[in-house]
Amino acid sequence: MPRPAPESRRSSLTPFYVILGLVALAAVALIATKLKPASKEGANQGVAVSLTPDQLQRVHGISLGRADAPITIYEFADFQCPHCAQFAAFIEPLIRQNLVETGKARYVFYEFPLGFKWSFLSARAGRCANQQGKFWEMHGMIFGRQRQWSFDPDAAAQFVEYARTIPGMDAGKFEQCVRSDQFQKEVSESAQLGQSLGVQGTPTLFVNGRRIDPLPESYSELEAQVRRIAPDAFAGAPAAPAAAPAVPGDTAGKVTGQSTQQ
Amino acid sequence: MAQGHAGVDAVEEAYAPPPLSRMAIAVLALIGVFDAAYLSMYKLGIIGGLTCRAGSCEQVQNSPQSALFGIPVSVLGLGAYVALLALALVGVQPRFVRDRRIALAIAAISGVGVAFSAYLTYVEARVIYMWCQYCVISAVLVTLIFLLSLPGLRRARAAAS
């Protein structure tokens, strides 16, 4: 019985190659039906800015409270930083209630994007909301639902959904802003201001120009420090209670006072 | 005459028929290439989302554990499947069927793949509590490839002895 020639054995692979080809075709067709085009997410990175000390003095944050308040509190924060979300949930409302609304303090929010996936985009989303006078509403939504959008491949879509729920907000205009590069320069300047002041992590607070380091674990400790820095603003006022407000959104846990490092 | 027989045996030895297990490895590796390529396209921003019937594919792909030393796990998987496919395609050629190096390489790469997939499955189940159907498919594929690589190892050992 003659043995088959090697050439004919090689040709026995033909059905195998046909099967491979069919599998490849089927896989390509399947993937083609599953493709979702990348949506325009908007600028998610800073631009190079180089401000002089004089220009840095004029970098605008987003402020709350009386312009002539005796105390000025600067907060440098990143919307995607978990500690900032805890700070926003547990301490910041008490600052507003006890210091800002009583006219003792002006509170100024500066973006300091650390480099999380959506740090810069979320900072711009805040500015886009501010354009419509809705920064603090969006600030609460973004921090309160941080876990919802942080892992979303299209965080901008989540922010637009939040905008729809804020009364009086034009979600279409907001979306146009978020999905563009608007406020890229402003957020970059805010970050440069933070760097010039030695900010390395978030949240970082400055009270009348003095850095609060380490950040206290409770509002009462923070107010005690503020009282030491600006005692005149509290003349005759009793010390603050240590109670924290109810937990908004899905942010949970206790403020640890730690900062997220850059 | 003896020389003639020896020559025919040598040809027979050199041109052994391609084993079905190695063909199956090639087919599975090809499916793995597409599976990992789909996840890589998402991870690299080429496509905007993943179609996921079961689990939370996008959340898993955006979790901190989805990259190793800064390289997306899906891209590492793509590299492994491309290597396995190439090795299997070479390995089905009659002259390479009993090649020990190819058998060892397929077993080694798929073995590492099984171990890494076990770790990723643990991460999904116990750390991030989310599942990605494409990751599960990949884990099954690489496990099957590893099991199918074992006959090749035996053949290579028999040929060596």
Q: Could you write out the DSSP letters of every residue in A7-33?
A: HHHHGGGHHHHHHHHHHHHHHHHHHHH
Q: Do A153 and B26 touch (CB under 8 A)?
A: no
pLDDT tens-digit map of A214-240? 899 899 999 999 999 999 888 866 665
Residue of B5, B22, B23 to mutate when probing chain A, most A C-beta within 10 A: B23
Q: Do A20 and B18 touch (CB under 8 A)?
A: no
B18 inside 8 A of chain A by CB: yes
Which amino acid is present at A122?
A: S
In this predicted structure, which of B1-5, B19-23, B55-59 has the lowest mean pLDDT? B1-5
Q: Residue A72 phi/psi, 5° resolution?
A: -120, 125
pLDDT tens-digit map of A7-25? 555 558 888 999 999 999 9
Q: Do B12 and A13 touch (CB under 8 A)?
A: no
- CA distances to A84, A91, A227, A262, B27 from A257, in Å: 10, 10, 19, 16, 55
Which amino acid is present at A53?
A: P
A5 inside 8 A of chain B by CB: no
Q: Give the closest residue to A137 by CA, choosing from A52, A22, A248, A26.
A: A248
Nearest CB partner across the interface for B11, out of A6, A10, A37: A6
Q: What is the pLDDT of residue B64?
A: 74
* pLDDT of A47 over the 90 cut: no
Higher pLDDT, A216 or A39: A216
Query: Cα separation of B11 and A149, whole Å?
Result: 64
What is the enclosing helix (H) or strand (E) of A109? strand A105-111
Neighbours of B39 (CB within 10 A): 26
Residue of A1, A8, A9 to mutate when probing chain B, most B C-beta within 10 A: A9
* pLDDT of B73 over the 70 cut: yes
The percent helix, strand, coil of chain A (3-state, each to 5) is 50, 10, 40
Can you state the angle between helices A82-90 and A135-144, rounded to 10 degrees? 120
Total residues found in chain A within this entry: 262
Q: What is the pLDDT of residue A255?
A: 33
Neighbours of A213 (CB within 10 A): 11
B26 inside 8 A of chain A by CB: yes
> What is residue B103's three-state secondary structure?
helix
Nearest CB partner across the interface for A19, out of B27, B38, B46: B27
Share of chain A above pLDDT 90, in %: 58
Average pLDDT of the residues in A252-262: 35
Report chain A residues whose CB lies below 8 A from the CB of B18: 12-13, 16
* pLDDT of A256 over the 70 cut: no
Report chain A residues whose CB lies below 8 A from the CB of B38: 31, 34
Share of chain A above pLDDT 70, in %: 83
Q: Do B49 and A153 touch (CB under 8 A)?
A: yes
Total residues found in chain B within this entry: 161
Query: Cα separation of B122 and B143, whole Å?
Result: 15
Q: How far is B38 from chain A (nearest CA, A)?
A: 7
Complex ipTM: 0.79
A248 contact partners, CB below 8 Å, separation of at least 6: A89, A140, A144
Torsion of CA B138, B139, B141, B142, to 10 degrees: 110
Chain center to CA of A211: 21
- Model pTM score: 0.52
Q: What is the pLDDT of residue A40?
A: 67
Q: Do A154 and B31 touch (CB under 8 A)?
A: no
In this predicted structure, which of A137-151, A240-254, B114-128 has the lowest mean pLDDT? A240-254
Q: What is the pLDDT of residue A248?
A: 33
Report chain B residues whose CB lies below 8 A from the CB of A31: 34, 37-38
pLDDT tens-digit map of A65-115? 999 999 999 999 999 999 999 999 999 999 999 999 999 999 999 999 988
What is the biggest distance separating any 2 CA atoms in chain A, rounded to whole angstroms? 114
